[in-house]
Amino acid sequence: MESKKIKELKVSAIENGTVIDHIPSSAVFQVIRILKLEAFENMVLFATNLESKKYGKKGIVKVSNKFFKPEELNKISLVAPHASIIEIRDFQVQQKTIVETPDRIKGIVKCFNPNCITNIEHIPAIFAVVDKEDTRLKCHYCEKITTCETMEFR
């Protein structure tokens, strides 16, 4: 007798909130951390290493009763440049967008150069995004390049 392979998603639908889809599997926990979802009071569901026809493997985060601000979407775009943001209201998809990495980032990432004025004075770091695909940011003040490996969020 041949066994059938049954695929069933056993994750609660959310009535209101946001689904972040198409996160690289390696970035799921980073998305949770930079959005401070570990301290969020409402339901947060996540999965990693899910099959994706487009990306091979992906992750997903569902956040109940939370809609993200533009600066939070900018953070997501830096670690998951192809992520989809799906807003749910009354169990229905209201809006679906792909995050877009802006050309300029201000105040959400720390310059990794300890001698940069932004780390000595209380000045928000400003970066030009020089590579959106591999996430490379050039500091406006010291001109050092910050990459995913050296990126630290404020």
Query: CA nearest 83: which of 151, 27, 142?
Result: 27
This prediction has a pTM of 0.84
| pLDDT value of position 56 | 86
Distance CA 145, CA 127 (A): 9
Taking 60 as the threshold, does the pLDDT of residue 13 lie above it? yes
Q: Count of CB atoms within 10 A of residue 54's CB?
A: 7
pLDDT recorded at residue 1: 44
120 band by pLDDT with thresholds 50, 70 and 90: very high
Confidence (pLDDT) at 149: 87
Domain with CATH 3.30.70.140 in the chain: 17-98
Average pLDDT over every residue of 56-85: 94
Architecture of the domain made up of 17-98: 2-Layer Sandwich (3.30)
Query: What is the pLDDT at residue 89?
Result: 97
- Does position 106 have pLDDT exceeding 80, yes or no? yes
Q: Where do you find CATH 2.30.30.20 in the chain?
A: 104-153
CATH architecture of 104-153: Roll (2.30)
Half-sphere exposure of 105 (CA within 13 A, CB side): 31
